[in-house]
Amino acid sequence: MTTPYEPGDGGSDPGLSAITSERRQLINLAYRLLGSLADAEDVVQETYARWYSMTRRQQEAIESPGAWLTKVAGRICLDLLGSARVRRESYVGEWIPEPIPDRAEWGGGRSADIAVDPADRVTLDESINMAFLVVLESMTPAERVAFILHDVFRYPFADVAEIVGRTPVACRQLATSARRRIRESRAAVPPAARQARVVRDFKQAWEAKDIDALIGLLAPDATATADGGGRAQAALHPVEGGERLARVMVEFGRRAPELTLLERTVNGQPGLVAQQDGVTVMVMAFEVVEDRIKHIWAVRNPEKLRPWTTGSAGDMTDVI
């Protein structure tokens, strides 16, 4: 199996070379496959545990440690995706992928001087925005793995076949099916500056409890989905309709007047973070279509807000 991300020399220890060169790649892959940073970290730990369970001679016999690690991580993710469907049947309310921040905004902007590699930005903006991840959730595990490995990480179908356990032709068909789902759900995305303006206007209208302004910013068929996971208060079902959603948002604001809203980048796009007494209690991602908000994803489950808490930024360096 070949890999576009060959590990560097890194000295005589092939395990050290694999860790220093491939950990970030594996975290990025596993997060996109699973929609959960915590699960992605577990996958990488299990992958390296399997690497170190081998003898030194077995490690040295592997021509490309990076390719071996990717294959193992991909197979672990494939197994987890199958079991995740069962776990989510018992999940309280709606399940939303775990939101991640922009590293330049961690800790309230304390790391704003960190430079972001343009190559990282390309994959960040396109393959981890919330709308994209939500569509991935509608795919079968095999479709998701084949599509992410081939279309996002550029692995040839011969290599994908080794992970999925199907023929290269079958993997090509899986990716085609997944690509069709993405294409059918994708709307024209406005430039980031226009999205940010819409989100900012929404924030100001929400703070002012201006129902008319909110209705004007929401698409008539706008939908809001909340994820409390049974650990925080949240609607168990999506709220549909722009006017109804506007009224729900105003009522929510009246019940929680102590909330502070902050403009932040959520999964590569303009979003909002709600804090109470300096603690993040909700992260909101938006889909903006033709300068109106089409969908809102509000994550309130505290287990999914770990990357947004003070002091956790260091854990995120491998993601973006």
Length of the chain equals 320
Planar angle of CA 306, 312, 318, nearest 5 degrees: 100
Share of the chain above pLDDT 90, in %: 66
Domain-embedded: residue 100: no
Same domain, 169 and 284: no
**SS3 for 269?**
strand
- pTM recorded for the entire structure: 0.84
Same domain, 239 and 117: no
Same domain, 163 and 237: no
Same domain, 179 and 198: no
| pLDDT value of residue 31 | 94
Count up the domains in the chain and report the number: 2
The edge-to-edge listing of strands for the beta sheet with 218-227 is: 239-240, 218-227, 292-299, 279-289, 269-276, 260-266
Confidence of residue 23 (pLDDT cuts 50, 70, 90): confident
Interatomic CA distance for residues 75 and 202, integer angstroms: 42
Share of the chain above pLDDT 70, in %: 83
User: How far lies 120's CA from each of 25, 108, 200, 206, in Å?
Assistant: 11, 21, 26, 33
Residue 154 has pLDDT above 80, yes or no: yes
| pLDDT value of residue 88 | 80
Which of 80-89, 171-180, 203-212, 241-250 shows the lowest per-residue confidence on average (mean pLDDT)?
Answer: 80-89
Task: Encode pLDDT of 289-301 as tens digits.
Answer: 999 999 999 999 9
Residue 82 has pLDDT above 50, yes or no: yes
Task: Encode pLDDT of 237-251 as tens digits.
Answer: 999 999 999 999 999
Domain-embedded: residue 211: yes
| pLDDT value of residue 109 | 39
| Residue at which a domain ends, from 134, 159, 186 | 186
Top-confidence residue, 169 or 3 = 169
| Residue at which a domain ends, from 161, 186, 211 | 186
Same domain, 282 and 200: yes
> What would the 3-class secondary structure string for 118-134 be?
HHHHHHHHHHCCHHHHH
**Centroid of chain to Cα 105:** 17
CATH at 90: 1.20.140.160
Interatomic CA distance for residues 221 and 81, integer angstroms: 31
Domain-embedded: residue 319: no
Interatomic CA distance for residues 42 and 96, integer angstroms: 19
Same domain, 160 and 257: no
Confidence of residue 116 (pLDDT cuts 50, 70, 90): very low
| pLDDT value of residue 315 | 44
Task: Report the first-to-last Cα separation within the chain, whole angstroms.
Answer: 25
Residue 34 has pLDDT above 90, yes or no: yes
Same domain, 128 and 254: no
Residue 221 has pLDDT above 50, yes or no: yes
Domain-embedded: residue 91: yes
| pLDDT value of residue 15 | 52
Same domain, 258 and 202: yes
Same domain, 137 and 207: no
Same domain, 121 and 230: no
| Residue at which a domain ends, from 135, 151, 186 | 186
Interatomic CA distance for residues 187 and 102, integer angstroms: 23
Residue 94 has pLDDT above 70, yes or no: yes
Domain limits at 228? Answer: 192-306
Confidence of residue 90 (pLDDT cuts 50, 70, 90): confident
Domain-embedded: residue 241: yes
Residue labelled with tokens 């992958």: 47
**What element of type H or E holds 237?**
none
Confidence of residue 105 (pLDDT cuts 50, 70, 90): low
Which of 28-42, 91-105, 221-235 shows the lowest per-residue confidence on average (mean pLDDT)?
Answer: 91-105
Interatomic CA distance for residues 136 and 146, integer angstroms: 11
Domain-embedded: residue 39: yes
Which of 154-158, 187-191, 200-204 shows the lowest per-residue confidence on average (mean pLDDT)?
Answer: 187-191
**DSSP string of 61-105, one letter each residue:** T-S-HHHHHHHHHHHHHHHHHHHHHHHHHTSSS---PPP-B-GGG
Q: Two tokens at 2?
A: 């070949």
| pLDDT value of residue 5 | 37
Domain-embedded: residue 282: yes
Interatomic CA distance for residues 98 and 116, integer angstroms: 21
Same domain, 258 and 287: yes
| pLDDT value of residue 104 | 67
Q: For 70-97, what is the mean pLDDT?
A: 90
Domain-embedded: residue 313: no
Q: For 7-30, what is the mean pLDDT?
A: 66
Residue 155 has pLDDT above 80, yes or no: yes
Residue 117 has pLDDT above 90, yes or no: no
| pLDDT value of residue 8 | 37
Task: Encode pLDDT of 256-291 as tens digits.
Answer: 889 999 999 999 999 999 999 999 999 999 999 999
Same domain, 166 and 32: yes
Top-confidence residue, 189 or 270 = 270
CATH at 200: 3.10.450.50
**Centroid of chain to Cα 194:** 22
Q: Mean pLDDT over all residues of the chain?
A: 85
Interatomic CA distance for residues 206 and 254, integer angstroms: 10
